[in-house]
Amino acid sequence: MANLKNSENNIPEKICEKIKHIAFIMDGNGRWAQKRLLPRSQGHVAGLKTFTEIVKYCFKLGIANVTVYAFSTENWNRSEEEVSALMGLLEKNIDENADELIENGIRIIFLGDKTPLSKTLAEKMKRLEERSSHNKGILNVAVNYGARDEIVNAVNALISENKTAVTAEDISEHLYTKNSPDPDLIVRTAGEKRLSNFLLWQAAYSEFYYSDKLWPDFTPADVDLALENFMSRHRKYGGY
Ligand code: IPE
Ligand code: IPE
Ligand code: MG
């Protein structure tokens, strides 16, 4: 999976040179379920299937870093029922799919503070990070992630190292994403056009792509559309 190139689509081979990191704000699971008169948790079940398919596809294209926003620091504001359904799905997914990811050369890193999570879930997450740490393709899964929390956490870590002045590099190196370059492309589904506290620091020069599709309806062909669009853009970084 990680080192395979895809030859069945229109994405040129050079894609993985131009895009080292793609990030997804997987939005719209709730609306997908509501449209079908299903409980929101069923939308998350469908969203998990999409997550698996899209992540595999991105690695198949040769993209070295893939990040997904799975649960934000603000998502605790949802009902206890929905939060526990989401946590349950995460745990089940680790139990059932971790081995396949590891065998396919993927390193899983969870972005976010694990402290408020259940002890069992936090342990499983840590264990998976350790078991996959030798792999090269990075899958960052943001769980209890908030970019403001991440920056505060980085600053506090620097203070505890007795730093009295810091550089931008110091901050980058203390973020949860320290193992990945900044995202080249951030894709958000379900028609919303906001960051919702995702990668605020790292997104300084990211390109953005919005899809009206709800996350459970998002397909590899939609990834192709996003990448084709990305490839046509001219990134200037303040220059020309
Ligand atoms: C994204 O889908 C998944 C999470 C935030 C956990 P939503 O649950 O936000 O779906 P909508 O936005 O309510 O449709
Ligand atoms: C952002 O989606 C978080 C995730 C996708 C996990 P939300 O649905 O929580 O964001 P808002 O509330 O619409 O901004
Ligand atoms: Mg949403």
The answer to the question of residue 208 being in a domain is yes
From 50, 75, 86, give the residue whose CB has the most ligand 2 atoms within 8 Å, as the site to mutate: 75
Residue ranges making up the domain that contains 120: 18-146+180-231
Where is 18: in which H helix or E strand? helix 15-18
Residue pair 33/46 in contact (Cβ under 8 Å)? The answer is yes
* Pocket (CB within 6 angstroms of ligand 2): 25-27, 69-72, 75, 192, 194, 196
Buried b / exposed e across 166-177, counting CB within 10 Å, b at 16+?
eeeeebeebbbb
Atom 12 of ligand 2, residue of closest alpha carbon: 196
Residue 2: per-residue pLDDT = 40
27 CB within 6 A, ligand 1: yes
The answer to the question of residue 116 being in a domain is yes
The answer to the question of residue 173 being in a domain is no
Instruction: Report d(CA 150, CA 51) in Å as an integer.
Output: 23
Question: Which tokens go with 47?
Answer: 């969203």
Instruction: Kindly list the strands in the beta sheet with 106-111, ordered across the sheet, starting from the edge strand earlier in the chain.
Output: 106-111, 137-145, 65-72, 21-25, 185-188, 207-210
Q: Is 77 a catalytic residue?
A: no
What CATH number has the domain bearing residue 195?
3.40.1180.10
| Atom of ligand 2 minimally distant from the CA of 194 | 14
CB within 5 A of ion ligand 3: which residues?
27
The answer to the question of residue 86 being in a domain is yes
Identified catalytic residue from 6, 75, 97, 197: 75
Residue 3: per-residue pLDDT = 39
Mean pLDDT per 10-residue run, the chain (240 residues)?
46 81 98 98 98 97 97 98 98 96 97 98 98 98 98 98 97 98 98 98 98 98 97 97
The answer to the question of residue 172 being in a domain is no
| Atom of ligand 1 minimally distant from the CA of 214 | 14
Residue 16: per-residue pLDDT = 84
The answer to the question of residue 133 being in a domain is yes
The answer to the question of residue 220 being in a domain is yes
Tallying the residues shown for the chain, one arrives at 240
Instruction: Report d(CA 49, CA 96) in Å as an integer.
Output: 13
User: Across the strands, what pairs with 139?
Assistant: 66, 108
Q: Is 104 a catalytic residue?
A: no
The answer to the question of residue 82 being in a domain is yes
Question: Which tokens go with 208?
Answer: 């953005």
How many domains would you assign to the chain? 1
What predicted TM-score, i.e. pTM, was given to this entire model? 0.95
34 CB within 6 A, ligand 1: no
